[in-house]
Amino acid sequence: MAVKVKINGEVREIDAPEEMPLLWALRQELGMVGTKFGCGKALCGACTVHVDGVAMRSCSTPIGSIGEGEVTTIEALGQTELGRALQDAWLEEDVMQCGYCQAGQLMSATALLLRNPEPSARQIDAAMSGNICRCACYTRIKSAITQVAESGVAKKGKANA
């Protein structure tokens, strides 16, 4: 029986077992390859998506566990003001090197600013600590998040929510 999952605002039917990790369903069943496979063991953060706005490791989230939850992936990041602000800040700070980890970094950063629009430096470090970057772009990632936090975009989004 197909598993129904709401992804980026659309209910998708995935013809796969309930225990299939969401990452596999996104990439292999739905062809949504923006979300990356890194470790497959919830250790690197490359596969981060949101379920109801909360950062989740899709490699260790079975599709059958999502239920009514709403999944957001990197493909939909630019649909919100906050997501666009983060994308712009990433470009402005020239964050990326190889880019492989960056979808996960952006999804974790968005989830942080959604729940805490004005994070301290320590809170940014804590929220991003599970996202590994082999190119060590950590300083620029932090600068980009700080830039968006200071712009007030996330705060504005929260006030309108």
Which chain residues interact with ligand FES by CB under 6 A?
Answer: 37-40, 42-47, 57, 59, 96-102, 133-135, 137
Taking the complex as a whole, the smallest distance from the CB of residue 58 to ligand FES amounts, in Å, to 6
Q: Provide the CA 13 distance to its chain's centre, in angstroms.
A: 22
Taking the complex as a whole, the smallest distance from the CB of residue 118 to ligand FES amounts, in Å, to 26
User: Which CB atom, from 85 or from 107, has the smaller least distance to ligand FES?
Assistant: 107
48 neighbors 131 (Cβ within 8 angstroms) = yes
CA distances (Å), origin 89, targets 58, 129, 142? 25, 19, 10
Taking the complex as a whole, the smallest distance from the CB of residue 155 to ligand FES amounts, in Å, to 28
User: Which CB atom, from 25 or from 153, has the smaller least distance to ligand FES?
Assistant: 25
3-class secondary structure, 148: helix
56 neighbors 48 (Cβ within 8 angstroms) = yes
User: Which CB atom, from 142 or from 158, has the smaller least distance to ligand FES?
Assistant: 142
